[in-house]
Amino acid sequence: MAGKGSNSVQVRHYNERVVLESIRKLKDASKADIARYANLTPAAIATIVDGLEASGFVKQIGKRFGQRGQPSIMYRLVPESAYSIGIRIGRRALDAVLLDFAGDIRAQESHEYRFPVPLDVKRFGDHAVASFKTFLGAAAQSRIVGVGIASPYFFGGWGEELGFPEALSSRWENVDLTTLFSIAAATPVYIENDGSAAGLAELVSGNGSRFDDFMHVSIDTLIGGGLVQKGQLQTGPNGNTAALGPFPVSRSELFSAKPSVSPFDILLHRASVYVLVNHLRANGIDVFRVRELDPLPVAARTPLLEWQTDCADALAQAIIGIVAVVDIDAVIIDSILPRAILHDLVAKVQQRLGEIIPVGLLAPEIIAGSLGHLGSAIGAAMLPIYALFAPDSSVLVKKDQPRKPLLIGSSQAPTSG
């Protein structure tokens, strides 16, 4: 490692991250538990845990009895040792959360809009940041370690599908997300695609925590995705890994679907919430927000079932394409949809995948996500903690490659997510 620019200090910092991640996964753990999970020696673990306790990142919570030998002292993360803010800029709403070091939500806000006008987005985000600081109080504000922002990379790319004003895309062309909100200059800002951010949240705090390799599918206004391999979020050189929207699938069977001039359609046109809303309207059911489907109006049952069947077929096709290229254990599907509708959709995807998966491929487990509409905001808030405290072999090598500002309305950004 020395030949790669590493030294003992960097190795120690890396091992500290490994220990913190172990405790985060185990929730409550003894030094012996941590040593087994982290694959480090008991002596090394003892030194690191004692140091983290002295620094205020972990604390003793009592002893565990009932096992052989002496009772074990148990440790847990100190929630108040650090905080982070996550802001998710959506096409129909802005969600913001304040997370503590243990990953629990301390405060949250949601602001809806018809269109994501930059000035409105800034106003809502600034309100959330100010509210969270007031909630923490002056003393705790200094422990905010960063702000994460999750956003689709290109608002105007699908404006025709969503009915956005023509000028909206150009209004985002020169917006730099790193400076959009009123955030202190000394506070780090981290940017990620909203689909990838939701995948990170599922990995750390959701049902994805039991898998090392999975695809996260976000059925939002527009569909997005996030890929996790070997317990790490994968974003790729352009931040566009798991760009599910343009994935080619067969044409929709819905009468409300726009005819395609291509020999195939794309997943975004079959497995996005806007498609459901349009299909309901085509059947005389005027809805704008999917929460209006809870409770489900009687008249919406048949068109909802039609969309679920069409959506599940498209998702099954996409999953076959995914597992033909990437070996994964699970596909985790989450959504802004009401939970009952989501779980019914997941069951239909399982059934359809079993019907059409070809010989030679292993069907992954298909399960529902656990975080719902807040997934991307939670993932955004995890970005600072993930960057500063999670295991990452890059901390063993000195690097200085600052990320370029992300202009989400410009041609430099990927057109998906």
DSSP codes joined into one string, 6-33: --HHHHHHHHHHHHHHHHHHHSSB-HHH
Per-residue pLDDT at 289: 86
Model confidence at 95, pLDDT cuts 50, 70, 90, reads very high
pLDDT tens-place string over residues 118-174: 999 999 999 999 999 999 999 999 999 999 999 987 665 667 777 788 788 778 878
Q: What is the DSSP letter of 58?
A: E
Q: 257 vs 161, which has greater pLDDT?
A: 257
With residue 388 as reference, give the H or E element that holds it.
helix 375-389
What number is the average pLDDT over the span 183-189? Answer: 94
Model confidence at 412, pLDDT cuts 50, 70, 90, reads very low
pLDDT tens-place string over residues 337-371: 999 999 999 999 999 999 999 999 999 999 999 99
Residue pair 208/375 in contact (Cβ under 8 Å)? The answer is no
- Residue 368 and residue 375: Cα distance in Å, rounded? 12
Residue pair 212/228 in contact (Cβ under 8 Å)? The answer is yes
Per-residue pLDDT at 7: 67
Per-residue pLDDT at 400: 38
User: Which of 329, 293, 334 shows the shortest CA–CA distance to 315?
Assistant: 334
- Residue 294 and residue 377: Cα distance in Å, rounded? 22
Model confidence at 262, pLDDT cuts 50, 70, 90, reads confident
Per-residue pLDDT at 6: 52
Per-residue pLDDT at 416: 37
- How many CA atoms lie less than 13 Å away from 413 in the CB half-sphere? 26
- What average pLDDT does the chain have? 89
| Beta-strand relationship, 72-77 and 58-64 | antiparallel
Per-residue pLDDT at 154: 66
Q: 112 vs 1, which has greater pLDDT?
A: 112
User: Which of 26, 56, 103, 23 shows the shortest CA–CA distance to 382?
Assistant: 103
pLDDT tens-place string over residues 192-236: 999 999 999 999 989 998 999 999 999 999 999 999 999 889 988
Per-residue pLDDT at 153: 76
Per-residue pLDDT at 238: 82
What number is the average pLDDT over the span 29-44? Answer: 95
Point out the least confidently predicted range of 162-166, 206-210, 249-253, 325-329. Answer: 162-166
Residue 190 sits at φ, ψ, to 5 deg, of -120, 135
Per-residue pLDDT at 170: 77
- Residue 78 and residue 98: Cα distance in Å, rounded? 16
With residue 201 as reference, give the H or E element that holds it.
helix 194-205
What number is the average pLDDT over the span 361-387? Answer: 96
- Residue 404 and residue 384: Cα distance in Å, rounded? 17
Task: Tell me the pTM.
Answer: 0.89
Amino acid letter, residue 154: F
